[in-house]
Structure 1
């Protein structure tokens, strides 16, 4: 299913590459302190975002609508990521 198209493979490879960055950083510095749950949450967020954008690209025909919807999805990812990282909004799931 996902592996049948090049965008799906690209999404998976991009997520793996992005998760390798903190994995390598953990080996060299104490500044990066990720646990297994951090990697799982990041993988779910990144993969979910990529797959939802792929779904939008397949189902929405108008280019302007595609751009707007994928932009909204990316902003949502960014806001969730920031909240989980530093607790910008002070919600309960930020871990503060």
Structure 2
């Protein structure tokens, strides 16, 4: 059985693992060109998402409500993640 502490550790370790992918890409190939600001923004987004998911997981009692809220949080993360480099919606925080 996985304990609450192990689940929390896994939730906060996932952003680190995800940030290692572009870090390795920067080191190995020239196709991925992330600056320190890119890593900072990605870290802020991923760790904020991990914090919110962990908060909802600990505060919400109903399983269905917990899953729905976590899906909404991940959807917002995906929309922001897509918007920043591609500017699908033309928002002012997209960089241009």
The answer, yes or no, to whether TM exceeds 0.5 is yes
Tell me which stretches of 4 or more aligned residues in structure 1 moved more than 3 Å.
Answer: none
| 1: CA distance, partners of 2:12 / 2:71 | 20
5+ long unaligned stretches in structure 1: none
Corresponding residue for residue 40 of structure 1: 40
TM-score, normalised via structure 1 length: 0.89
| 2: CA distance, partners of 1:43 / 1:8 | 17
TM-superposed CA distance for 1:8, in Å, is: 2.5
Pairs aligned (count): 93
Q: Secondary structure at the match of 1:32?
A: coil
TM-score, normalised via structure 2 length: 0.89
TM-superposed CA distance for 1:74, in Å, is: 0.5
Corresponding residue for residue 22 of structure 2: 22
5+ long unaligned stretches in structure 2: none
TM-superposed CA distance for 1:46, in Å, is: 0.6
